[in-house]
């Protein structure tokens, strides 16, 4: 079977989350001694550990077949690289930030001012679309320090919690784009490797569905099963199992995590008792 080559970030949070989703897919990767290349022991997969900013070019050149990368990097450098799956982790945003003392009312306040960023294409496109001309300063590394040392009047950078901005006396004033980790594919992937990718994607989808779902079991009076069933946003229909206690049944189903508390409140009002909530490891369709 053809070995699929995947690029992931060589260090940092995205690296850890990428290896975790592969592990959750049942794929074992031994990256001992911080190797830059490692092979899975139980799946036809070879992992290349690269700098995040270099990954789009590796995809465009066909050096790797797929990659787990932030979609903000693809927007900045990736051209028309195809995204086949949003992975739901390493969420952040690319934002405009200014010193806290800056009286910001609109983007027009930044006209002709110096903007420091490591995302020049994203930044220029954003200000061009808003008809605001700025003086761009492309830098790498700690962009947040630029206003404090007099290099720039404002910055464009990735923001997660906002704590780094706060520590550098900056405030977020505009969000250019929201980003998360995605599975991207090279335009040169072969049909043989596409077969392997389909198998990997099937596993990833099973893991992602499980991450956003909960399995619930509850005791319900038989006369209230229909009412409870109508509340449950189930895949097909809930499982109903009679209990030893006459007139009662166990009702079992799957609910989305983002609907969890709203559904639980309605189930209790409808007569459900002893509600047990369990995590789901995989959901395979």
Any idea what the CATH number is for the domain that residue 130 is in? 3.40.190.10
Q: CATH number, domain at 264? A: 3.30.70.120
Q: Residue 88: what pLDDT?
A: 93
Rounded-to-integer distance, Cα 25 and Cα 77, Å: 29
Residue 251, judged by CB atoms within 10 A of its CB (0-12, 13-18, 19+), counts as buried
**Does any domain span residue 253?**
yes
First to last CA, the chain: 24
- C-beta of residue 156 within 8 angstroms of C-beta of residue 115: yes
Whether residue 97 lies inside any domain: the answer is yes
138 with 271, same domain: the answer is no
Same domain, residue pair 54 and 100: no
Are both 132 and 28 inside the same structural domain? no
* Span 47-99, pLDDT tens digits: 999 998 899 999 999 999 999 999 999 999 877 799 999 999 999 999 999 99
pLDDT score recorded for residue 69:
95
| Confidence band, pLDDT 50/70/90 cuts, at residue 260 | confident
pLDDT one-digit tens code per residue, 122-174: 999 999 999 999 999 999 878 999 999 999 999 999 998 889 999 999 999 99
Based on the domain organization, do 186 and 84 belong to the same domain? yes
Would you say residue 101 lies in a domain? yes
Is the per-residue pLDDT at 43 higher than 90? Answer: yes
Domain that holds residue 264: 213-279
Residue 218 pLDDT greater than 90, yes or no: yes
The number of domains in the chain is 3
Pair 98, 154: CB distance under 8 Å: yes
Instruction: Say whether both 41 and 112 belong to one domain.
Output: no
Residues 120 and 254 in one domain: no
Domain-embedded: residue 185:
yes
State the average pLDDT for the chain. 91
Structure confidence at residue 1 as a pLDDT band (50, 70, 90): low
Residue 285 lies in a domain: no
Residues 6+ apart with CB under 8 A from 149: none
Task: Flag whether 284 is in a domain.
Answer: no
pLDDT tens, residue by residue, 161-215: 889 999 999 999 999 999 999 999 999 999 999 999 999 999 999 999 999 888 9
- Give domain status of residue 67, yes or no: yes
Buried b (16+ CB within 10 A) or exposed e, 260-283: eeebbebbeebebeeeeeeebeeb
Whole-angstrom Cα distance, residue 235 to residue 285? Answer: 10
pLDDT of residue 162: 87
Residues 189 and 237 in one domain: no
- Please check whether residues 14 and 136 belong to one and the same domain: no
Per-residue confidence (pLDDT) for residue 236, from 0 to 100: 66
Same domain, 157 and 264: no
């Amino acid at each position: 079977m053809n070995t699929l080559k995947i690029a992931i970030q060589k260090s940092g949070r995205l690296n850890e989350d990428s290896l975790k989703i592969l592990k959750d897919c049942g794929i074992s990767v031994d990256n001992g001694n911080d190797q830059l290349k490692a092979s899975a022991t139980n799946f036809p997969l070879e992992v290349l550990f690269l700098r995040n900013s270099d990954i789009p070019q590796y995809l465009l050149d066909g050096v790797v077949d797929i990659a787990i990368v932030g979609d903000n990097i693809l927007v900045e450098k990736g051209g028309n690289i195809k995204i086949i799956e949003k992975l739901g982790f390493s969420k952040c945003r690319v934002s405009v930030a200014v010193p806290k003392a800056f009286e910001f009312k609109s983007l027009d306040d930044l006209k002709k001012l110096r903007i420091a960023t490591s995302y020049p294409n994203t930044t220029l496109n954003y200000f061009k679309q808003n008809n605001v001309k700025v003086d761009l300063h492309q830098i790498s590394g700690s962009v947040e320090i630029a206003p404090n040392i007099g290099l720039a009047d404002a910055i464009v950078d990735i923001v997660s919690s906002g704590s780094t901005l706060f520590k550098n006396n900056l405030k977020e004033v505009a969000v250019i784009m929201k980003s998360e980790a995605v599975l991207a594919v090279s335009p040169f992937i072969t049909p043989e490797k596409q077969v392997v990718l389909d198998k990997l994607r099937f596993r990833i989808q099973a893991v992602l569905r499980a991450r956003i779902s909960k399995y619930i079991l509850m005791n319900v009076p038989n006369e209230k099963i229909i009412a409870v069933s109508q509340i449950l946003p189930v895949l097909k229909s809930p499982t109903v199992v009679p209990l030893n206690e006459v007139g009662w049944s166990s009702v079992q189903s799957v609910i989305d995590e983002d609907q969890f508390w709203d559904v639980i409140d309605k189930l209790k009002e409808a007569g459900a008792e002893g509600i047990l909530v369990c995590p789901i490891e995989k959901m395979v369709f």
